[in-house]
Amino acid sequence: MIRIVLPEATDTHAFGRRLAGLLRAGDLVLLTGPLGAGKTALTQGIGAGLGVLGDITSPTFVIARVHRPDPTADRGVALVHADAYRLGDATDPRAEIDDLDLDASVDESVTVVEWGAGMVEQLAEAHLRIRLDRRDDDTRIAELEPVGGDWAQRLTALG
Ligand code: ADP
Ligand code: MG
């Protein structure tokens, strides 16, 4: 478990950009934590780091949104941003997202899922789990938990 203190919103954004450097097509990142914890803010940083197009906003009223790569950016990977609150009790949210006919395969995208209130504890697939919490002084704490795959090894790059 890696714990990162994020004093300001700009730190959340910067952390997302840094995290994007570790991400590649097919990755799944699950964001947990209460409303207002910074899940969407972190996703915006990830999107900036990946170099994708379009404003990243809370996907609360849609299930998922695809952000295409900026053709001038060198990463060339799309971002699928989903709200699992609307996905039901999937054991693998990626399978459900792929069923949405978004015209973007999760295997070719980085997928970030915001969980809302309910949380699924067991997931079949390897993923990076990030829990965000807001402290009384309004700073945020990010707790990173690698689940399966080579996530633990990849996280060592964060120092
Ligand atoms: P969520 O998606 O978890 O509901 P948001 O990403 O919408 O939360 O964030 C809610 C608010 O928290 C935003 O105004 C955002 O700028 C702010 N915020 C994010 N990170 C921090 C931080 N590290 N310190 C203070 N405010 C933050
Ligand atoms: Mg949100």
Give the model confidence (pLDDT) of 59-101 as tens digits: 666 788 899 999 887 788 999 998 877 777 666 778 888 777 7
Tell me the ligand closest to 42's alpha carbon: 1
Q: Where are the domains of the chain?
A: 2-153
CA of 115 to the centre of ligand 2 (A): 9
Q: Which residue has the tokens 């070719």?
A: 108
The reported pLDDT for the residue numbered 60 is 66
Ligand 2: distance of its center to the CA of 52 in Å? 18
Look up the ipTM and state it: 0.99
* Cβ of residue 148 lying under 6 Å from some atom of ligand 1: no
For residue 25, the one-letter residue type is: A
Residue 76's pLDDT is what?
A: 87
What are φ and ψ of residue 112, in 5° steps?
-115, 125
Q: Is the pLDDT of residue 48 over 70?
A: yes
* Closest residue by CA, ligand 1 atom 24: 8
- Number of the ligand 1 atom closest to the C-alpha atom of 139: 24
CB of 82 closer than 8 Å to CB of 114: yes
Half-sphere exposure of 103 (CA within 13 A, CB side): 4
The Cα-based distances of 123 to 15, 39, 118 in angstroms read: 24, 19, 14
Whether the CB of 41 sits within 6 Å of ligand 1: yes
Q: Tell the CATH topology of 2-153.
A: Rossmann fold (3.40.50)
Backbone CA torsion sign across 51, 87, 146, 14: positive
Which of 4, 8, 19, 46, when mutated, tests ligand 1's pocket best, judged by the most ligand atoms within 8 Å of its CB? Answer: 8
In short, whether 8's Cβ falls inside 6 Å of ligand 1 is yes
Ligand 1 atom with the smallest distance to the CA of 11 is 23
Of all residues in the chain, the percent with pLDDT exceeding 70 is 89
Residue-wise pLDDT tens digits, 108-159: 899 998 875 545 555 557 899 999 999 999 999 999 999 999 999 999 988 7
CB of 147 within 8 A of CB of 128?
A: yes
- Mean pLDDT, to the nearest integer, of 29-41? 93
